[in-house]
Chain A
Amino acid sequence: MRYTEERIPSQYVAMVFVCTLALLMCLPAVCDAEPCDEAKAVQQSAAVQLKPEVSESESAKVEKTEPRPVEQAKSEKIEVKSEQVAAIDMEVLTARLKKTKAIGLFTKLAIRNDVSDLMGEVKHYRKKAMLADKIKEIRESFEGLLMKIVALLDDDPELSRDLYVGRESIWKSLLEVKV
């Protein structure tokens, strides 16, 4: 009797341990699945961000017939707010990119090299007053680099999403580089 009492808890313990292990092994799979949902959310939010640009022309048509000062003021407020948020985000994004553990030190250094090369390119073409001609090429390089970084940050989906969503403000700040 005493023997069976000792045996049952050990079996129970083993079962609990196996279940815990199985749960912990499933955890990364769940984490990996999250970026897919977030990517959809990013696409949706990007679509939402792009919407106002399209609707502006439509709203302009409406304004010709019926001027709406209240709505205009509201949209101006929203624009100012989004610009402020973007400005804050740039510093925060840089800090987060430096701190993230999703990529290693050598990778961060390689990314920093690529970014400074791109900034150097912008400076070089601006100096020669050729920036307008080369803007398309630079934009393509920028998009490629951003996509690389976003792909590398697979283990930090929040930062990856924020970088993707804030790509326009990042591009603007890149163009604001002083000669």
Chain B
Amino acid sequence: MKKLLMAVLMTVVMVPVAQAVTMAEDLATTIRLRGYDCGRQVSNISEQQDAQGNKIVRATCPNGTRYQITVTPEGRMRVQPLN
């Protein structure tokens, strides 16, 4: 009975987590919003910050194209393909 309760509890807890937007989905949506072809999720995500304070995120779409998403400190966003 204990096991059943644990299993049900874990399932209930895991369901909302599965429905939340992941960063991979979020970035893919952002790339699509800027008019580029991308699937539902990206992979190989890397994040860094340059000397000007821009946040630079690089990710690869399912079709193999790698994109760079630059967010300036003012909140402006730019998406550009890298290959």
Contacts and interface: CB of A to CB of B under 8 A. Distances in A.
Given A13-B3, A103-B26, A110 B34 contact: yes
B21 A102 contact: yes
Contacts of B27: 104, 106
Interface residues of A, number: 25
Given A13-B4, A24-B11, A104 B25 contact: yes
Contacts of A101: 20-21
B37 to A, nearest CB: 16
Interface in B24-83: 25-27, 29-30, 33-34, 57, 69, 71, 75-77
B29 A103 contact: yes
Contacts of A105: 26
Contacts of B30: 104, 106-107, 109-110
B75 to A, nearest CB: 6
A28 interface: yes
B71 to A, nearest CB: 7
Contacts, number: 65
Contacts of A114: 33
Contacts of A148: 33
Given A104-B21, A105-B26, A110 B33 contact: yes
B8 A20 contact: yes
Interface string B1-13: 1011001100110
A104 B23 contact: yes
Nearest to A113: B77
Interface of A: 9, 13, 16-17, 20-21, 24, 27-28, 101-107, 109-114, 148, 152, 155
Given A103-B21, A110-B30, 8 more contacts: A17-B4, A17-B7, A20-B11, A104-B29, A106-B23, A106-B29, A106-B30, A112-B75
Top 6 nearest A-B pairs by Cβ distance? A104-B26, A106-B30, A104-B21, A13-B4, A107-B29, A110-B33
